[in-house]
Amino acid sequence: MNLIIDVGNTRVKVAVFEEDTIVDFVVFDKIKIVSEIKKIIKKYNITAAIASSVALLSAKKIEKLQSFVEIMFVSSNLEIPFKNLYATPTTLGVDRIALVFGAFIKYPKKNVLIIDAGTCITFDFLTKNGEYLGGAISPGVEMRYKSLHKFTSKLPLLPINKPENFVGNSTKESINSGVVNGVIQEIEGVINQYEKKYLDLTVVLTGGDTNFLSKQLKSSIFANQNFLLEGLNEILIFNKSK
């Protein structure tokens, strides 16, 4: 079985795959990574492991994790089956590499736009010829709510909530409309830009806000909250077969 570890800024997502099927999935605070990974390894017959980390892990924690099982850490030096045309490949996030890898394997010879709606909203584009061109990075939904509160003196910090109407008739509803409706219009607009230039576009929406946003989008998309984990699993399978 494959152990897939996605280390975020505050939380860790872990999945256990049997071939291409998730048999277990857990989420926990990053501070618990050593103890939680140890539990999972005791529970399953793990034969290979991979980790993607957008946040720094201490050398001590990495050493401890490696003592449980050999873990492959995704980096910009990863051997990939697609052509990376990003102008600054060493600065490309490991999470974005995994997303594009997954798109290359799951949607061969297709133009694919992957939208990851998490802390940030990232857009990544892979052509049908297997060329990764890049994309965009934008503030995520929660980040927008927090920024309105932090950088103003009177606006409250609100929980994420779907606006009742795009015309907000109170401060609360104006914030909900500005943030959520703004994100929806942004995503729809970006999809429209790509559709005008690239025919037969496949759009994948993933990330923590997938379920919340997918219900409000009018564009045809594939919503898959676990696409990053699946991409990491594909990287592991690809490297094991070499």
Q: Which residues are annotated as a binding site for ATP?
A: 6-13, 119
Work out the number of other CB atoms within 10 angstroms of the CB of residue 151: 8
Binding residues for substrate: 86, 93-96, 171
Give CA–CA dist 193/58, Å, rounded. Answer: 41
Selecting among 95, 124, 200, 209, the annotated active-site residue is 95
Binding residues: 6-13, 86, 93-96, 116, 119, 171
Amino acid in the structure at residue 210: T
DSSP class per residue in 35-91: HHHHHHHHHS---EEEEEESS---HHHHHHHHHHS-EEEP-TT---SSEE--SSGGG
Give CA–CA dist 114/30, Å, rounded. Answer: 26
Binding residues for K(+): 116
95 belongs to the catalytic site: yes
Contact 178, 158 (CB under 8 A): no
Active site residues: 95
